Chains A and B, each alone.
Chain A
Amino acid sequence: MLIHLRDRSAARENEVTPETIYRSRRQFMAGVAALGLAAGVPRSVWASSEYPNVTSADAPAWFDDRVADTHWQAITPENPELDKVAPFRDATHYNNFYEFGSDKSDPAEHAGQLVTEPWSIKVDGEAGKPGQYSVPELLSSDRLEERIYRLRCVEAWSMVIPWLGVPLADVIKRLEPTGNAKYVRFETLERPAQMPGQRSRFGLIDWPYQEGLRLDEAMNPLAFLAVGMYGRVLPNQNGAPIRLVVPWKYGFKSIKSIVRISLVEDQPETSWHQLAPNEYGFYANVNPSVDHPRWSQATERRLPNSLFHPNVIDTRMFNGYGEQVAYLYRDMDLGKYY
């Protein structure tokens, strides 16, 4: 067992949080209280004190309300030594979000322009409850969970990131899929005025960015909708205000800044597949034995690394989450359905 999946009702916070972190939070709270500032400090700020150098941000009121009741470390890596959480700065300044440019530093540089409030998510297709939802409406009153997942990029680097959010399955259940619903299709915002990558004349992606999952994949307990990371609200470059996290698939499946969720009958087209079908399949399961045509997927570079420690490690099938997800692909040839 590589990760612990606990029933939400089974764990209390002081049982799952390592004692040192638990204590340091108490100390911090005590310090804040002693200074008489407790009332004025947003709760998301003290939550982020578990991770060093996290920059605080103005979060919407619903987020601050929800984060106080978070089920911290609901899922953690079994081997915290190997799967060390990446520094906040790396996770927020080294990522892909082609809407803001194709360089790793572009998202952090340009995503500040994006206006994420108000935000509306359209639900349509084979759903019993279609309509326009705000983010808190979509999450309903679910308790937020923190999940520390490995993120494996198709470009052969990986990071470990603590997300805050709710299981995707809970949200989909509330949308009441009809018997015809076989897939879930997601769409990212298209707003060229605030997204310079969408204005590029030589860009090859047909906006808006779209992704999809089979319904049973979406209902797997590991599939996650994140609204925060590192104990705080999601930074824009990481997919604010709401994004998908599918830890057993390559990172590009984890679509960011979602504006539309459709329950559909047929397998949806996905952006990277549209662009280069021989390189990016619909499933995109992390699979060390199926190479990307341009590079091997047998190993990955766990970040941050250094010149003296390139930190090249073996990639595991399903990114190490096989025990939880392998059943979904029992009868499939994963060399063909990559």
Chain B
Amino acid sequence: MIRVWRVAVFLAALAPLLWWSWHVAMAAAGPEPGRYLLLNLGQGGLILLLLTLSLTPLTRLTRWKGFSVIRRQLGLWTCSYGVLHLSCYLLFILGLDWSALGADLSRRPYIIVGALALIILITLAITSNRFAMKRLGRRWKSLHRFVYVALALVLLHFLWIVRADLTQWSGYALAGGALMLLRLPPAARALSRLGRRISTPRKGSGHLES
């Protein structure tokens, strides 16, 4: 069952890539297919990051193991989307002009912030294996808390690209803010209590009798 669940999540995360590639191949991605991929990968990466971060609160609430089982996989997918997003920027926006990359990295805050976020995500991806966990011991957990720094940087990166309408960004920021709040110890404890109550309703409680 858990295995089917893992494969299903793998296919669901892969599907958008195939869908966008199909659009590009069919010339249905508009006059600027590189930018189409760039934006979709960036947005897709943010959604995956939010989904990854929602798994722990979801586990606490539902007490279903399935959510924690796919956490590493979704984290790796997030990083992959980020790396592909970077590749699109280098290939299709800069046209592999490395001096332009140097200028962007030294002058443009949103590029710097995006690069920092990606460095964090790559570091976390590299240390997402048993060997690294063993080597790092207790420090592994504090290192992987940096995922919240990455989320904040990604949201800032996105905010600096918005030209005149914050509707979409506000939605992501709200979700990101809520997920961060749910990780605060009091909120996390409350979530676990609520989860216990939902999954093991006490005998004789009001709603069962009425």
Contacts and interface: CB of A to CB of B under 8 A. Distances in A.
Given A294-B161, A307-B92, A104 B167 contact: no
Interface string B157-181: 0001101111101100000000000
Contacts of B163: 102
Given A294-B108, A296-B100, A296-B103, A204 B32 contact: no
A310 interface: yes
Interface residues of A, number: 35
B30 interface: yes
A93 B30 contact: yes
B32 to A, nearest CB: 6
Interface string B90-112: 01111101001001100110100
B90 to A, nearest CB: 11
Contacts of A232: none
Contacts of A291: 107
A169 B107 CA distance: 40
B18 to A, nearest CB: 16
Given A294-B108, A295-B108, A305 B31 contact: yes
Nearest to A271: B164
B165 A310 contact: no
Contact of A90 (B30, B34, B92, B100): B30
B33 interface: yes
B70 interface: no
Interface stretch (A72-80, A133-141, A194-202): A194-202
Interface string A202-231: 111100000000000000000000000000
Given A295-B108, A310-B92, A203 B164 contact: yes
A307 B34 contact: yes
Nearest to A159: B31
Interface string A150-164: 000000010100000
A303 B36 CA distance: 13
Please classify how large the interface on chain B is, using the bins under 10, 10 to 19, 20 to 34, 35 or more.
20 to 34
A133 B63 CA distance: 69
Contacts of B37: 307
Contacts of A275: 164
Nearest to A155: B163
B94 to A, nearest CB: 8
A98 interface: yes
B147 interface: no
B33 A306 contact: yes
A299 B99 CA distance: 13
Interface string B56-82: 000000000000000000000000000
A5 interface: no
Given A203-B164, A299-B95, A310-B95, 12 more contacts: A94-B30, A197-B165, A202-B167, A204-B165, A275-B164, A294-B161, A295-B104, A299-B100, A301-B92, A303-B32, A307-B34, A310-B93
25 contacts: A87-B31, A93-B30, A98-B165, A101-B165, A102-B163, A102-B164, A102-B165, A105-B30, A159-B31, A201-B167, A202-B165, A204-B165, A275-B164, A294-B108, A294-B110, A294-B160, A294-B161, A295-B104, A299-B97, A301-B32, A301-B93, A303-B31, A304-B31, A307-B92, A310-B34
